[in-house]
Structure 1
Amino acid sequence: MGGNALQAESVRLPASRYREVERHAVTTLQRCFPQRRIEAVIAYANKTDFGDLDILVEAGQDYDAAQLAQALQATEVVFNGDVTSMGLAIAEGVFQVDLIRTAPASFDFASRYFGLNDFGNLVGRIAHKFGAKFGHLGLLYPLRDPDNSSHMIAEVCITTNFGEALSLIGYDAALYETMRTNGQFRTLNDIFRYVVASPYANREIYLLDNRNHKARIRDAKRATYNAFLTWLDEQDEVELPAYPWAEAGTTERNNQKNEFLDTTFAQFPDFRLAYHDALADYARKKLVKRQFNGGLAAEITGLSGKELGELMARVRNSFANETSFENFFIEASPEAIKARFLQEAAAQS
């Protein structure tokens, strides 16, 4: 993804030639791996040239990217997590192909998220302002410790339906699908006009100076993101939405996030249930940790180092299952907990 992952320099291809290479690569993979969904990431219709080819591959635990590379007779293969970059030998030289491992449940969302250059990243800025995460796995909600916002408990899925996710952050999902299906995202400007169509859009949320360090460094390297910033500067500000986002950490900003969360709970009851279950599970584990920890065990038994570690494992394994273990340390009195540690320490010695 980006055309520069290989040692060999990837050639750029004009659109007509790229379509030939895309068709050959996708057809070859679909023929060799008919049990998987395999499709190329779409580009805007009038894109003139390409530095690489991104292909989504539906895959579970049995995924072996090396097999796909072999099917394409790759000249070079670079494994990087869920993305495998490979060199495809063509008449013009070496062309980079990126295979993106994609879970079946989020395949359709990923197809749309990665498509149309930086489209997913740009509309995702609005989701981020509401405290959500718009990515290739779906629309997720990072759940944080109520007492420590820097600690994330879990990422709870709101929806893996791309249209539902777009609608939730103010976009016309039907219009997006129509334009995507009919090739009406012809230019970058078509993408940009759609991105600012949400009533929650505001040019300020895209400015690099208003991004965190990691995002600023990442997006500053993206040609499409920079083209969008230039496009914003060229627009009449009166015509652009300017949703009044409050400053981070303020009561007003927290209210904006809470209103979004209430709306999301109402529309997605499964998400509401998962959200509260995750909070309850985390609270339970925090309570267990207060009663079962190395400091307390050392104080009771006088053990340290390797022996203390072995005792902690021994105590945990003395229960039939995790639920029994947690229930004991939530419900037991300090005296019962002390007795349990001493009992296992005696057995250990």
Structure 2
Amino acid sequence: MGGNALKNVVTRRYARNEYYILKERILNKLQGRIDQFDVPREFPCKESFGDIDVLMVCQSSMNIRNLIEELFNPNEIVMNGDVYSFDFEQFQVDFILVPEEQFDNATVYLSYSDLGGLIGNICHKIGLKYGMQGLWMNVHTQEFDPTTTSTKLILSRNVKEIFDFLGYNYEQYMKGFDSENDFFQWIIDGKYFRCVYFDDQQLNHAHRQRTSKRPIYIKFRAYLNQLSKSETNESSQDHNEFIRKIRQQALIYFKKEEDYHQGLCQREEKRQLKDKYNGRYFCDIDDGKHMVRVHMKNFEKRFGKTDEEFHQWIVDTDHDTIKLEIEKYKNEIKHSQSS
């Protein structure tokens, strides 16, 4: 993933033909050792490669480092989360471990160098999220207020289902793209594509920094600049309404309306519970905050043997009664300290 993970060995770029030969050797070594593995799709016209990504599903008992050492005898292995990078024949190999339910979508996400990044940027602009785990939306306590807490609602992990909703031709993806321009046009033909979503002014500083290092993204921007597409500017209010409609359409399309409303109720319940019971009620004990968590735990034991029992007590008890019980606890602590 990037070709720069290894710092202590010499690696090089491989020309297309030698890359395909090495790729076959690597995958052949994994036959019978890994249950499920694949390499993201590449442009057939790509002249050279700096690394190879191999996505795989492994049993929890599998020791990947030992497997790499046994099959490839590398000089260096670097682990970064679920990614194991190592050298083989002076080439960087990245083993990317993914859960079985994410395997298909993760493979698509990493295909054609930046498919996931381009579609992910579009989804972000329409109130959705797209990543290796699929398509989802964040359910905030208050819509369009990212400062409020949120939960992740997975809409789908099915690649075709996701592409159909976003207006992407799944059959064309499966057939493959002969050139980068064919791929770019496929992205543009999506239902929710807007040129303005790829305007630098639409990106924050961190995002601009990341995209400046992504070759396919840069080429895609150049391709867009050659087009003479005019788009009307939307006000923030119009765009919020646009997002609201898309999110509602997504909930209906993926049959997630009930899950969405349940998520809203859970967020609201957590907010109400936090208002009724939180650490600030214990901050004035012992003239410091370092014992707040201890006092909260001691207080909670009075009304529940388990976290679930105490949670239910908070739900069933009115705010004034909770405050009264906290004051009783605090007075007892102060009395014991003074005696």
> TM-score with structure 1 length normalisation?
0.86
Task: Select the residue among 307, 311, 323 that pairs with 1:326.
Answer: 311
Are residues 338 and 150 of structure 1, via their aligned partners in 2, closer, same or farther at CA, if it must alter by over 3 Å? closer
Partner of 2:267: 282
Q: CA separation in 2, counterparts of 1:307 and 1:221?
A: 47
Q: CA separation in 2, counterparts of 1:112 and 1:335?
A: 54
Are residues 243 and 48 of structure 1, via their aligned partners in 2, closer, same or farther at CA, if it must alter by over 3 Å? same
Structure 1 unaligned residues grouped into runs of 5+ = none
Partner of 1:19: 20
Kindly indicate whether the alpha-carbon contact (under 8 Å) linking 1:142 and 1:154 is maintained by their aligned counterparts in 2.
yes
Instruction: List aligned pairs for 1:130-149, cutoff 5 A.
Output: 130-146=126-142, 148-149=145-146
**Deviations for 1:139-192, whole angstroms, at most 9, x for unmatched residues?**
111222318423441221110011211222222223323x23xxxx12111111
Q: State the AA in 1 paired with 2:24.
A: R
Q: Is 1:311 equivalent to 2:307 in the alignment?
A: no
Partner of 2:166: 169
Partner of 1:254: 240
Question: Aligned-pair RMSD on alpha carbons?
Answer: 2.5
Instruction: List aligned pairs for 1:109-188, cutoff 5 A.
Output: 109-146=105-142, 148-177=145-174, 179-180=175-176, 185-188=177-180
Are residues 63 and 320 of structure 1, via their aligned partners in 2, closer, same or farther at CA, if it must alter by over 3 Å? farther
Instruction: List aligned pairs for 1:166-315, cutoff 5 A.
Output: 166-177=163-174, 179-180=175-176, 185-235=177-227, 237-238=228-229, 244=232, 246-247=234-235, 250-269=236-255, 271-298=256-283, 304-315=288-299
Q: State the AA in 2 paired with 1:22.
A: K
Kindly indicate whether the alpha-carbon contact (under 8 Å) linking 2:128 and 2:247 is maintained by their aligned counterparts in 1.
no
Q: State the AA in 2 paired with 1:246.
A: E
Q: CA separation in 2, counterparts of 1:246 and 1:77?
A: 49
Partner of 1:104: 100
Q: State the AA in 1 paired with 2:297.
A: A
Are residues 335 and 261 of structure 1, via their aligned partners in 2, closer, same or farther at CA, if it must alter by over 3 Å? closer
Q: State the AA in 2 paired with 1:74.
A: P
Kindly indicate whether the alpha-carbon contact (under 8 Å) linking 2:283 and 2:289 is maintained by their aligned counterparts in 1.
no
Q: Bigger shift: 61-70 or 150-159?
A: 61-70
Q: CA deviation at 1:62?
A: 4.5
Are residues 63 and 288 of structure 1, via their aligned partners in 2, closer, same or farther at CA, if it must alter by over 3 Å? farther
Q: State the AA in 1 paired with 2:184.
A: F
Q: CA deviation at 1:225?
A: 1.0
Are residues 161 and 18 of structure 1, via their aligned partners in 2, closer, same or farther at CA, if it must alter by over 3 Å? same
Q: State the AA in 2 paired with 1:187.
A: S
Kindly indicate whether the alpha-carbon contact (under 8 Å) linking 1:140 and 1:157 is maintained by their aligned counterparts in 2.
yes
Q: CA deviation at 1:232?
A: 1.8
Partner of 2:48: 49
Q: CA deviation at 1:15?
A: 1.4
Kindly indicate whether the alpha-carbon contact (under 8 Å) linking 1:29 and 1:72 is maintained by their aligned counterparts in 2.
no
Q: CA deviation at 1:219?
A: 0.8
Q: CA separation in 2, counterparts of 1:150 and 1:59?
A: 37
Q: CA separation in 2, counterparts of 1:44 and 1:14?
A: 13
Q: Secondary structure at the match of 1:32?
A: coil
Structure 2 unaligned residues grouped into runs of 5+ = none
Q: CA deviation at 1:51?
A: 0.6
Are residues 18 and 119 of structure 1, via their aligned partners in 2, closer, same or farther at CA, if it must alter by over 3 Å? same
Q: CA separation in 2, counterparts of 1:152 and 1:41?
A: 34
Q: Bigger shift: 275-284 or 11-20?
A: 275-284
